[in-house]
Structure 1
Amino acid sequence: MADETRTFPPSPDHPDDDRPDLVERLDETTEALAVLRDALTGEEDLNEALQRLAETAAKAIVDADAVTVSVLKLDQTHTAAATDQLLVEVDEKQYSADRGPCLEAARTLTAVRAVVGEHLNEWPEFETAAAAHGIRAYLSVPVVLPASERSEAQHVGSLNIYSRTAAAFDPFDESLMRLFTTAASATITSAQRWQRSRKHIQYLEQALESRAVIEQAKGALMAAYECTADKAFTMLVERSQRENVKLRQVAVTLLQTVTRSGEPGNG
């Protein structure tokens, strides 16, 4: 399979001299990656970041008619981003059949190029779905998060490129796609880090809000019963345990009662 993915013979469908030269293609990819870098603020969720990645790759890679991003999570594979939703079916047929170039790239951690019509026995589900959508070539490149001090390198998905030209993609396209998978790794890492930070901030905000409500409820009890702060807190805790309700909710209910009793006509 490895040799096959790197054999790109000329085809009447797409003569080699019709393709931009290597320097031009590299410049276009470099520019696209710069745009991607500037656009990724680190404050997007993972799916939004991967969608932006797919759209950028589709613009930069010659012959790319569409791009999807497959993500592995808990042994389940799904398409997290796509520039053409109709073509997601081609990937989903591979997931359900548990075979195809997308999964081959994931399992071997190498780029896999497939020409539709040449793998009928090997990947019939992929072949049927791709042909139905007019796809003639498909390139899948694995996305791997680099190793860190806390974890080993982790395969998280694949970047999949569709083309309606049988001779699409050559070894240089594969090299360019590796640049995008490197960007994808950074994108995923950034999005995951931001999501963890956002959740942590939300927990802190909730804790501070709960603390403020509880302190207000304690103040109301201290004023009503002329007791200490410790005694007021004990009263809240005892009611929470007796009613099997969270302490914050007990405090909210108490404050609502105090507010209503202080309204005109309730005195």
Structure 2
Amino acid sequence: MDKSSVIRALREAARALHESSTPDDTLQAIVAAGGASVPGFQHVGISVVHGRERIESKAVTGRLVWELDEVQYALMEGPCVDSLRTVSTLAVEHLRHDHRWPRYVPAAVGHGVLSQLAFRLHADDDTFGCLNFYGTESETLQSGAMEIAELFAAQATIALARAIEKDTPAQP
């Protein structure tokens, strides 16, 4: 992806953030823009943490994301879960050969996933959730994919913080 394509994608994402009428619309705009802009990753989702344990998919580009997010939450293993708990950013190439998640990997590979990215979304000391990218066309990261995905993660953090702020009732 060339520089002008990246700039265009980020401009579209910023416009979507500004024009979205609800927090959910904003998050959906982020995943749609991410899926269209990060080379090698066709499926994107944003997961949200409730309390310290419950994780839910808040915006997804399709059924594959929904199903694999649910697998990770049920097993409490996978790139999303690890990015929330231990390492804030994970880039997973050659997923089928990765031994860190012995129960998750067979499910992901069974859905055709070859590579994955996961980014913790946080501001200050608060972790809000995770931005997940699933690749079904290549086992390796394309040039620039990580950097572009990191930019979308930064935008998703802002959007998610704003969504949480809007959904939180004002204290008297």
Structure with greater proportional helix content: 1
TM-score, with structure 1 as normaliser: 0.57
User: Which ranges in structure 1 are unaligned for 5 or more consecutive residues?
Assistant: 1-19, 148-152, 201-267
Identity %: 21
1:182 aligns with 2:154: yes
Q: Which residue of 2 aligns with 1:34?
A: 14
Q: Which runs of 4+ in 1 moved over 6 A?
A: none
In structure 2, distance between residues paired with 1:139 and 1:157: 14
Distance 1:142 1:25, change over 3 A: farther
Alignment match, 2:67: 89
Tell me, in whole angstroms, the C-alpha distance in 2 between the residues paired with 1:129 and 1:35. 36
Higher relative contact order (CA 8 A, sep 6+): 2
Q: How many residue pairs were aligned? A: 169
Shift of residue 192 of structure 1?
Answer: 2.6
Gaps of 5+ in 2: none
1:157 is aligned to 2:135: no
Measured in 2, the distance between the counterparts of 1:170 and 1:108 equals 25
Q: Post-superposition shift, 1:193?
A: 2.7
What letter matches 1:82 in structure 2?
A: V
- Verify: 1:63 aligned to 2:35, yes or no: no
Shift of 1:25: 4.4
Do 1:32 and 1:57's aligned partners in 2 also have CA atoms closer than 8 Å? no
SS at match of 2:58: strand
- Per the normalisation by structure 2, the TM-score is 0.84
**Which SS does the other structure have where 1:99 is aligned?**
coil
The amino acid of 2:9's aligned partner reads T
1:86 and 1:170, CA in 2 relative to 1: closer, same or farther beyond 3 A?
closer
Distance in 1, matches of 2:83 and 2:5, equals 24
Distance 1:104 1:171 in 2: 24
**Aligned equivalents of 1:58 and 1:186: distance in 2?**
18
Q: Identify the structure with the greater strand proportion.
A: 2
Q: Where does residue 118 of structure 1 map in the other structure?
A: 97
Q: Does 1:73 align with 2:50?
A: yes
CA distance in 2, matches of 1:156, 1:125: 25
